[in-house]
């Protein structure tokens, strides 16, 4: 199946997305309004703002891609802005038939104008969950610590985030400039605090440093790793990921933008899946990567080389490793299975 028929099928498919950044998903019109009303030094036309928010199609490295987040973060410094952007992201996902989504963001990045950690977290959690309730999307949140922040600050962040566990904040993450701060173990105490508070563990790894960084991340005993595609280059690591059932939350378009792989056709998503490594497929960022999940699914088939049955299996796999509560996930799984039962092209 190709072309319009494939596009329509993928748009209709119920989808789960586990690797999605709030600050990479600010809509252009919203960015223009926030910049104008808050007096932020930013582009004032749609074209210029769009150019500033969308990352390079083929960046030199991860550090270059990270610069695309500087402006969104500058715009996201009050509770109203954070809540609005979170609600709009959920609405965009609902329009793409994403039925379950985990949105991650770094609360410490949004305190530059005096917003407290707790108030910033509350704004995102409440707005995202309310939008999900209105639109029929199950939303969970992941708190992301930043590698370059002092370890003691990330312990405090973990303790604060855990207070929102009963309001849909279910996961803990680490992200940021991996090349300058390669050792995630510097933040072990924050991971321990997050785990003690009932948060489930993921972290970014392998956006720099390849398979060795993914192996280093395993010392923190995560359930999932964000990115890490070059784990495919290390057969022993592939075996370990499969044996330990550690999932890679992959985002091929973003990986090309970050220079991790040169082209979509080089992305090892299909190879990892066929080797038995648990993988999921996400956009990473709605705006910085300028892509919907349906479009990412289409690229996975047309450029990366997945078959439709493989893609459908990966989509459902996301529910198996999601950080949502089991009763919620079980209902979604039944919904997904019922939808796919009548479509012969999805049968393995």
Q: Which sequence positions are flagged as catalytic?
A: 207
Neighbours of 264 (CB within 10 A): 18
* Beta-ladder partners of 16: 100
* Beta-ladder partners of 171: 142, 200
CA distance 206 to 217: 9
- Inter-CA distances, 217 with 16, 187, 297, 300, 336, Å: 24, 11, 27, 26, 32
CA–CA–CA angle 283, 289, 290 (5° rounding) = 100
Helix (H) or strand (E) holding 296: helix 293-299
Reduced to 3 states, what is the DSSP secondary structure of residue 112?
coil
CA–CA–CA angle 109, 325, 123 (5° rounding) = 30
CA distance 291 to 289: 6
The residue written with tokens 């962040």 in the block is 157
According to DSSP, residue 136 is labeled T
């Amino acid at each position: 199946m190709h072309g319009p028929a494939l596009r329509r099928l993928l748009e209709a498919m119920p989808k789960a997305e586990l690797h999605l950044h709030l600050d990479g998903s600010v809509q252009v019109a919203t960015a223009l309004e926030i910049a104008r009303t808050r007096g932020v030094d930013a582009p004032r036309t749609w074209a210029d703002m769009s150019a500033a928010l969308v990352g390079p199609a083929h960046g030199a490295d991860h550090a270059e891609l990270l610069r695309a987040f500087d402006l969104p973060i500058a715009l996201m410094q009050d509770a109203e802005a954070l809540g609005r952007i979170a609600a709009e992201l959920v609405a965009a996902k609902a329009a793409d038939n994403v039925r379950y989504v985990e949105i991650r963001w770094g609360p410490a990045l949004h305190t530059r104008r005096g917003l407290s950690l707790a108030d910033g977290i509350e704004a995102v959690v409440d707005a995202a969950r309310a939008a999900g309730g209105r639109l029929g999307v199950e939303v969970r949140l992941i708190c992301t610590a930043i590698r370059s922040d002092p370890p003691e600050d990330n312990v405090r962040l973990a303790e604060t985030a855990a207070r929102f566990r009963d309001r849909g904040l279910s996961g803990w993450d680490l992200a940021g400039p991996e090349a300058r701060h390669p050792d995630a173990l510097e933040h072990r105490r924050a991971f321990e605090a997050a785990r003690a508070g009932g948060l489930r563990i993921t972290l970014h790894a392998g956006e720099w440093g390849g398979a060795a960084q993914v192996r280093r991340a395993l010392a923190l005993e995560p359930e999932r790793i964000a990115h890490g595609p070059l784990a495919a280059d290390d057969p022993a690591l592939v075996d370990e990921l499969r044996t330990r059932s550690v999932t890679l939350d992959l985002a091929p378009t973003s990986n090309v933008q970050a220079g991790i792989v040169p082209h979509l056709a080089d992305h090892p998503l299909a190879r990892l899946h066929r080797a038995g490594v648990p993988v999921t497929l996400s956009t990473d960022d709605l705006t910085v990567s300028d892509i919907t999940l349906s479009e990412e699914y289409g690229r996975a088939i047309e450029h990366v080389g997945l078959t439709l049955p493989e893609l459908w299996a990966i989509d459902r796999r996301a529910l198996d490793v999601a950080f949502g509560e089991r009763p919620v996930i079980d209902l979604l799984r039944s919904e997904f299975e019922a939808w796919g039962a009548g479509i012969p092209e999805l049968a393995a």
